[in-house]
Copies of this chain bind each other. A is one copy, B any other.
Amino acid sequence: MIEVYVKRGLNGWASFEFFVRKLPEKRNFLVAAGLEQVMMYLEGLRFGIEELSYLKEIGFSQDLLDYLAKFSFVGDVWAMPEGTIFFANEPILRVEAPLPQAQLVETRIINILHFQILIASKAIRVTLAARGKPLLDFGLRRSHEASAGLLASRACYIGGFSGTATVEAGRAYGIPVTGTMAHSFVLAHGSEEAAFRSFIDMHPQKAILLIDTFDTLKCARLVTRLYHEYLKKGIRIKGVRIDSGDLFELSRRVRKIFDQEGCNELLIFVSGGLDETKINNLVASGAPIDGFGVGTLVDTSADAPFLDCAYKMVEYERAPRMKYSTGKKTLPYRKQVFRCFDRKGLFESDVITTMDENIPSAKPLLVRVMKRGKRIYQDNLREIRKRTICSQQKLPPGLRDINNRVEYHPEIRGRLNRIFSNQPFSDNCPES
């Protein structure tokens, strides 16, 4: 396509918007994430000799190669800051650039935004379920390859997690890193006692001991003995982790053993196949659990492993563009999303308009983040995490309910409403 655009001089200014068509069944809202990586991608996009010679080899023309050899993104980008809550059909990001540029970056932009939105939106549900108890990301091993593992840690942190066990994600993004021990650590030592002593000696004040390798309750008693022994030396074992079995029953029994043996300050962490539903049940049932390690089901967003999202042309040379494909109609024009709050500052509604309309006293969510190829917007991961937590807290309880579906549809107003007044919007339009 780029080859055609370049050859035909189809170089007019085009606007493409990224949005999610329809939310998965178990998502009442989504969380914007991935903008930092999109900006880094756009600023850094170049074509090297290896890439160009491969393209030549598979038959692309010299015109295209010349174009790519001097490629440097010159467009504008508008976006919702990461951590912003959003809904179906709201543009999260818009690229305004010469057509070949705006088209070339389509797949990678979707690839970046889709994944981090997916994981941040799953993670916030886990955060809601945990009701303040700390959550750690354990998911690297079953993430879909390397970059997914790292960016899942980032997206989980945006969605309210406390930290990650992925050390490289700590280095790359400044996320707090926390580790634990594996069953093989116990097996290598030959006995739980030997393994625990090794670990405590190395991490005197932060040892979390894995107690389910053989017999969880027997091991909990061993931990109480070690607790008192080390306490005499001024060393406080921090707690234990249970990674299998009935976590409700085991946590209660282990807590009882600890309390009976005067180890009230020992904490109990659990892991193993956890998601928001299981955590919600554990917390609701009053299981004496102090924190959760969460991996596979969140880092793969297992109940909804993809979003129905798109990056669609909405204007070409300032004229509106839309497609009519069955079930996939798009809203034309460059758009703005306004968020309206009530007097208490709580979420009231979202309104989608064209860019040149305005909703007084409402907050425009899309801001310009790149201008003529240069980023003019900086954000900070801790701020982004706060933004998620704050904007989620402003939502009505129904939207924050992780167990029940609430479909919220932003209002389409002004010129867009006139266009769509007689044509059902894709979201409401059954596929024929």
Contacts and interface: CB of A to CB of B under 8 A. Distances in A.
Interface of A: 1, 3-5, 7-8, 10, 12, 14, 16, 50-51, 54-55, 58, 99, 103, 106-108, 110-112, 114-115, 118, 140-149, 151-152, 166-168, 170-171, 177, 179, 181-190, 198-199, 201-202, 212-215, 243-246, 296-297, 300-302, 305-307, 309, 312-313, 316, 321-328, 431-432
A194 to B, nearest CB: 9
B110 A184 contact: no
Contacts of A245: 325-327, 431-432
Tally of this chain's copies: 2
B328 A244 contact: yes
Given A58-B170, A300-B306, A1 B146 contact: no
A416 to B, nearest CB: 17
B148 A323 contact: no
A57 B148 CA distance: 25
B187 A316 contact: yes
B14 A313 contact: no
B316 A112 contact: no
A313 B188 contact: yes
Nearest to A215: B324
A245 B66 CA distance: 39
B184 A103 contact: yes
Given A58-B177, A145-B147, A187-B313, 15 more contacts: A1-B181, A4-B199, A51-B171, A103-B185, A106-B184, A118-B144, A144-B144, A183-B312, A186-B323, A215-B324, A243-B325, A245-B325, A245-B326, A300-B305, A302-B305
Contact of A149 (B14, B111, B188): B111
A164 B39 CA distance: 26
A320 to B, nearest CB: 10
Contact of A107 (B141, B152, B185): B141
A146 B147 CA distance: 6
A23 B363 CA distance: 49
Given A107-B141, A300-B305, A326 B187 contact: no
Contacts of A327: 244-245
Contact of A1 (B182, B214, B305, B312): B182
Given A306-B302, A326-B245, A198 B107 contact: no
Nearest to A166: B107
Contacts of A170: 54, 58
A5 B194 CA distance: 12
A323 to B, nearest CB: 5
A141 B306 CA distance: 10
